[in-house]
Amino acid sequence: MISRAIGAALLGRLRDGHIDVLENGRRRAFGSRESSLRATVRVNDAAFWCAFARGSLGLAESYAAGMWDCDDLVALTRIGARVMARIDRLRRPLAPFVTALSRLPRNTRSAARRHVASHYDLGNELFEAFLDETLTYSCALWESPGMTLREAQEAKLEHVCRKLELNADDHVMEIGTGWGSFALHAAGRHGCRLTTTTISQRQYALAVERVRAAGLDDRVTVLRQDYRDLSGAYSKLVSIEMIEAVGWQFFDTYFARCSELLAPDGLMLLQAIVTDDRTYELEKASRTFIGELIFPAGCLPSVAVISRCAATATDMRLLDLEDITDNYPTTLRCWRERFLAAAEHLDRLGYDRRFRRLWKLYLSYCEGGFRERRIGDVQVLLAKPRYRPAGEQRVSTATATPGEASFASAGLPPRAGP
């Protein structure tokens, strides 16, 4: 079989990590036998080898179909990330041509609603099965050993509130409601008014219900509006892992709209999953597993792109950049463990085996990507021209590396990724 021979030849070039492939009772070993990063792949269907040649999308579709299994999907993803770091050097010169020829979907207003619905409207029961009680679907902050997932998510929400210097006089705009966790936390604990928006029907309905149940109707308004259609003036703006759904064609539009919504002395906190600056041009137009099957038309910005957009599309300046990437693997591991533990419950709800396998791979794939810093997570604090700190002490950059702190203080982006 030609595809098997080609696949074996490619695996034969493996240097970072070790993979055992089991097929028809035969074991073949690839990579370094001394490596501690190891995975065993069991081939259940020879069609796997054709899927292997199609990259992450082919591998994901074939895994969902049961063509292959793996004893450690996170380790396998980490090995793949190391291989891709070498392949990127070969792909980089082709990036301009790939982008020019790309026919990937754009997140126009109508398309954005469809794309968001294909993930976030899969059913609130799905997300309730693996998120914590706050229903926070973003990186937690593991400040101390022994924290529960809920405690780590609440620590992250409070961390954001402190950076924004929230108080009862603030009116906050949140772009990307989720299921209302930040709105409930900020209004409930800091007494501010908050307007939050989502274009997911399921998220909107549950967020409205949760706000009402918490008795915060007088302080929290939930909208179902595209960020491009928002109006008003707000003292603070927050957007937690929503920018990934904007699409690279609209990053400038997104930042311009955020700036227009802020008062002249306002603050903005952006939490964003980012790709390495060196791979952004490669990734933005690629047809990947995540972009096709999990988050249609999604695109990760890089730190450099965020900095450029803020500089050219807004009058805001960068005050602080904190890299929280190291917190994401633990967050994802918790989600994956809870997701797998809920398998029977999810099956009864109609999420079949194929769907569950796809999402198991998704959660493992992301964890491996963060562990290898193929992707990262950052919190960026931006300020309008008339903003002045509330006191002598401003948010610390102690959690950033010395290089990141100096870049942040200079208003320049640190390099994301390894």
**CATH number, domain at 82?**
3.30.1050
pLDDT value for 287: 82
364-387 average pLDDT score: 98
Average per-residue pLDDT for the chain: 91
**Residue with the larger pLDDT of the pair 198 and 9:** 198
Does 366 qualify as catalytic in the annotation? Answer: yes
Structural domain that includes position 382: 109-410
How confident is residue 283, by pLDDT bands cut at 50, 70 and 90?
Answer: confident
Predicted local distance difference test score (pLDDT) of residue 10: 87
Among residues 100, 131, 154, the one where a domain terminates is 100
What pLDDT shows up at residue 80?
95
Mean predicted confidence (pLDDT) in 158-164: 98
Residue 212 token pair: 């009402």
Same domain, 62 and 116: no
pLDDT of residue 104: 74
Question: Which of the 8 DSSP states describes residue 380?
Answer: E
More confident residue, 272 or 394: 272
Q: Count of alpha carbons within 13 Å of 252, Cβ hemisphere only?
A: 5
Q: How many domains does the chain have?
A: 2
Neighbours of 26 (CB within 10 A): 8
Same domain flag for 264 and 361: yes
Give the model's pLDDT for residue 282.
Answer: 83
Residues 345 and 401 in one domain: yes
What is the C-alpha separation between 246 and 390, in angstroms, rounded? Answer: 32
Residue at a domain's end among 100, 121, 151: 100
Find the catalytic residue in 50, 299, 334, 366. 366
Residue closest to 182 by CA, chosen among 169, 167, 196, 201? 196
pLDDT in tens, 68-120: 999 999 999 999 999 988 777 777 676 666 666 666 789 999 999 999 999 99
Residues 79 and 168 in one domain: no
Q: How far apart are the first and last CA of the chain?
A: 38
- Cα-trace Rg, the chain: 22
DSSP class of residue 17 equals S
Task: Name, in order, each residue with C-beta under 8 angstroms of 126's C-beta and a sequence gap of 6 or more.
Answer: 346, 349, 351
Task: Based on the fold, state whether residues 64 and 161 are members of the same structural domain.
Answer: no
Instruction: Report the run of H or E that residue 272 belongs to, with start and end.
Output: strand 262-275
CATH number for the domain that contains residue 267: 3.40.50.150
